[in-house]
Structure 1
Amino acid sequence: MSTLKETKILGFPVWLYAALTIIMFILGVMDWLPGNMIGALAFAMIVGTLLGWIGNRIPIWNAWFGGGMLFTCLVAGAMNTFSLIGPDTKEALSAFNGKTGFLDLYICMLITGSVLSLDRGVLLKSFVGYIPTIIGGVVCALGLAGLIGAVTGIGAIHAITTYAIPIMGGGNGAGIQPMSRMWAAATGGDGDAWYATAFAVISLGNLVAVFMSAVLNRVGELRPSLTGNGQLMKGVENLSAAQQDSKPAFMDYATGMALALVCYCAADLYAGHISLINHHMNLGFTIHKFAFMVILAAILNAADILPGNVKAGARGMQQFFVKYMSFPLMITVGIGTDLSDYARVFTNLANLLVIVATVVGAMLGTYLAGSIFRFYPVEGMLTAGLCMANGGGSGDVQCLGAAHRMELMSYAQISSRIGGAIMLVVASFFFGKFL
């Protein structure tokens, strides 16, 4: 009892936090929540943080199933599936994540902080080997999925085109949506029908990827030699000595946030209006603005033109969002999830085996390829493998959160964005060649 009295959630004593939670639940259930970002953020921060706090304390679940990150997302999905909160509240939370851009803001802060935190030498060395490691994971994922598809009777090509390619494709908006149009053009079939199946597949693939992320974290705890504890390359330190000693002042948080927001706007401008790849080369795919943001932040870091306090501020904002905004984000992500999507795929064992094979294949391929470039197995499989096999941006947050390695967001975004673009090319080839 004394421990409970001393416990604080989000800085509040438990009794006060319980009162705030009751208030927010009443507003959500009765559909009295303000329909703007204030109402959505209030519900997400109070309810989401509580769910994350609970999920991190459930035995076995916290070690093997993603802890509070996945627990928050699934409970939010249950709120949606079983209409436990009002429709206007669900719409406010969904819009806050999507139209208002809460997910984009979160990723924006993590990209800037993680890239600018990297030592310049580490940055250049690791990026050189990262794309080949992704490709190694893709080859192995598609190959193992095809093998399991052939053994189970689904068929190798069907397993690859209906399961493996969507899972490895970078999520919904930049992945299976354009893929569905490619599929319809190649087959003359109903692209919406393919999309509906693919959405269920990537939902379960993301769930498997989050579970495997938690497993990798546990492997790192049991075998410390296999992990850099958030460091991708062996034999080097992510942070220089000067960066390790640099502590952000109060003003530096605003500085870091402003830099991240401007980088996002610049990347959005370039991706939307300037990029040769996106607008002039007609390659059949586009590069997402977050990929350009990673590149822009990497250039700023490599050029060594930013003062130390600016880098420290960006890193401070990254740490703030990781510590206090992760669970609120997960409730806005999960509120768009229908748990019946998982149930549809779970009912067929062969489908489930192909999905698991795809995720495991991505891990195996990135382990083999990453070892060539001296990547730690845990970090290499997590970023180049599982962040290719998850649900895109929100999946990156879930996987890195389950593995407790949010500082790897810049690599995760390369997987989801540049890796996702690579998968559109792969999809175009398979759909045109074999269907």
Structure 2
Amino acid sequence: MNKLKETKLLGFPLWMFLILFVVMIFVAAKDIMLSNMVGALCFALVVGTLLGWVGDHIPVWNTWFGGGMLFTCLAAGALNTFNLIGQGAKDALNTFNGTTGFLDLYILVLITGSVLSVDRKMLIRSFAGYIPTIIAGVACALGLAGIVGAVTGVGALEAIMTYAIPIMGGGNGAGIQPMSKMWAAATGGDASTWFASAFAIISLGNLVAVFCSALLNKLGQAKPSLTGNGQLMKGFENVGSNDPAASIKPGPMDYATGLVLGLFCYNLATLYANHISIINNHLDLGFTIHQFAFMVILVAILNISNILPPEIRAGAKGMQMFFVKYMSFPLMITVGIGTNLSDYAKVFTNPANLLIIIATVAGAMIGTYLMGMVFKFYPVESMLTAGLCMANGGGSGDVQCLGAANRMEMMSYAQISSRIGGAIMLVVASFFFGRFL
């Protein structure tokens, strides 16, 4: 009881924060919450922070099921599924996360801080081996799904095209949406038919990936030799000790500088992706490269060139740590509010469905583990980023998986998986649909 009295959330005593929580739930349930960014951010901060704190303190759940991150997301899904808050509140939160760009802001801040925190030599060497590691995970995921599909009677090709390819496809917008159009073009059917099934499948695949991320975190704690504790590559354990930025304690101006740098890089990457990129604008390859992939490359160039003063890199790292600590749970509210829990239940109607989904996620981990060993990647980090961040739900899934594994600093690698890896999967889907449907 004394510990509860001393507990503070966002600086508020727990009893006071509970009042804020009740008020925000009440106004959302009555659908009188402000429908703009102010109302959405207030709800996300208050409700998300408390739910995240609860999830982090539930025994067993906090150790094996992703703790507060997954709990907050599922709780938000329950608010939506059972209509515990009004439609206006739901729309405000969905808009804030999507059109307003809260998810994009979160990811761009993490990309900027994480890439600029990595040693330049390690960045070059790790990126060189990362794409082959992703491809190995994809090959193993599709192969294992096909085997399980054949054994269960679903069929190897059916398991690959209906389950494994959507799960490994990079989420919704950049994954199964364009894939559904490919499926419709190949079959002459309605794209929405394939999309509805694929959405339920990737939702459960994301849940399995988040659970496996929590298991990888526990594996790293049990076997420290298997993890770099957020560092991908072996042999660079002490490289950060001589970095001038590591000794700088960023102030308010440095935080602002780091934020501006991230915003500018994202805007520049978006401009390049939408108007300049040869792949996106001049070649008809059936897919495009997401702006986050170009942003990772841009920030990596800034790191490798060593033109940024240490204060700027320290500020970017400081902003990253702020967002990870205080904005992760609120983000999960805005992500989860668009989830319907019935989508998970649909997949459980046939046990073979679940087996194929688990096989796909397991295959992604096995393939990236084996190829990661070739490039001297730590098993936990390679399976998490090149494997599970391919098998999750895209950008929001990256946040959930990295949060469950307590490795948010690996967002840059996760985004390569979701964006560049997702583009690779569109090519794979085009081949399978065109050849076998």
State TM-score, norm by structure 1: 0.99
Where in structure 2 are there 5+ consecutive unaligned residues?
A: none
Shift of 1:241: 2.1
Which residue of the partner structure matches residue 145 of structure 1?
145
Partner Cα distance (2:71, 2:336) in 1: 10
Alignment of 1:396-435 (within 5 A): 396-435=398-437
Report SS of the residue matched to 2:293: helix
Which letter maps to 1:249? G
Which residue of the partner structure matches residue 127 of structure 2?
127
Which residue of the partner structure matches residue 117 of structure 1?
117
Partner Cα distance (2:121, 2:38) in 1: 42
Q: Residue deviations 1:320-353, cap 9 Å, x none?
A: 0000000000000000000000000012100000
Which letter maps to 2:119? D
Q: Residue deviations 1:113-134, cap 9 Å, x none?
A: 0001111011101000000000
Which residue of the partner structure matches residue 179 of structure 1?
179
Q: Residue deviations 1:261-304, cap 9 Å, x none?
A: 00000000000110000011111110000000000000000011
Partner Cα distance (2:346, 2:298) in 1: 41
Which residue of the partner structure matches residue 241 of structure 1?
242
Report SS of the residue matched to 1:165: helix
* Paired positions, count: 435
Partner Cα distance (2:3, 2:61) in 1: 22
Report SS of the residue matched to 1:319: helix
Q: Is the counterpart of residue 345 in structure 1 residue 342 in structure 2? A: no
Partner Cα distance (1:206, 1:362) in 2: 13
Which residue of the partner structure matches residue 199 of structure 1?
199
Shift of 1:219: 0.4
Partner Cα distance (2:395, 2:189) in 1: 29
Partner Cα distance (2:3, 2:59) in 1: 18
Partner Cα distance (1:270, 1:102) in 2: 21
Which residue of the partner structure matches residue 386 of structure 2?
384
Which letter maps to 1:314? A
Partner Cα distance (2:132, 2:179) in 1: 23
Partner Cα distance (2:402, 2:235) in 1: 22
1:363–1:381: 8 Å Cα contact kept in structure 2?
A: yes
Report SS of the residue matched to 1:285: coil
Which residue of the partner structure matches residue 54 of structure 2?
54
Which residue of the partner structure matches residue 259 of structure 1?
261
Which letter maps to 1:62? N
Shift of 1:4: 1.2
2:365–2:383: 8 Å Cα contact kept in structure 1?
A: yes
Shift of 1:244: 2.3
Which residue of the partner structure matches residue 15 of structure 2?
15
Moved more, 38-47 or 3-12: 3-12
2:246–2:314: 8 Å Cα contact kept in structure 1?
A: no
Which residue of the partner structure matches residue 282 of structure 2?
280
1:119–1:240: 8 Å Cα contact kept in structure 2?
A: no
Which letter maps to 2:33? L
Which residue of the partner structure matches residue 220 of structure 2?
220
Moved more, 146-155 or 180-189: 180-189
Shift of 1:246: 2.2
Instruction: Find runs of 4+ consecutive structure 1 residues off by over 3 angstroms.
Output: none
Report SS of the residue matched to 2:240: coil
Partner Cα distance (1:434, 1:273) in 2: 35
2:174–2:422: 8 Å Cα contact kept in structure 1?
A: yes
Partner Cα distance (2:402, 2:11) in 1: 24
Partner Cα distance (1:103, 1:424) in 2: 23
Partner Cα distance (1:15, 1:207) in 2: 32
Report SS of the residue matched to 2:39: helix
Which residue of the partner structure matches residue 367 of structure 2?
365
Report SS of the residue matched to 1:239: helix
Which letter maps to 2:139? V
Which residue of the partner structure matches residue 98 of structure 1?
98
Shift of 1:240: 4.7
Aligned sequence identity (%): 73
Which residue of the partner structure matches residue 79 of structure 1?
79
Moved more, 181-190 or 322-331: 181-190
Which residue of the partner structure matches residue 299 of structure 1?
301
Q: Residue deviations 1:9-57, cap 9 Å, x none?
A: 1111011101111111111111111000000000000000000000001
Partner Cα distance (1:70, 1:56) in 2: 10
Which residue of the partner structure matches residue 167 of structure 1?
167
Partner Cα distance (1:70, 1:303) in 2: 38
Shift of 1:245: 1.5
Q: Residue deviations 1:59-117, cap 9 Å, x none?
A: 11111111000000000000000000011001100100001000000000000000011
How much is the aligned-residue C-alpha RMSD, in angstroms?
0.7
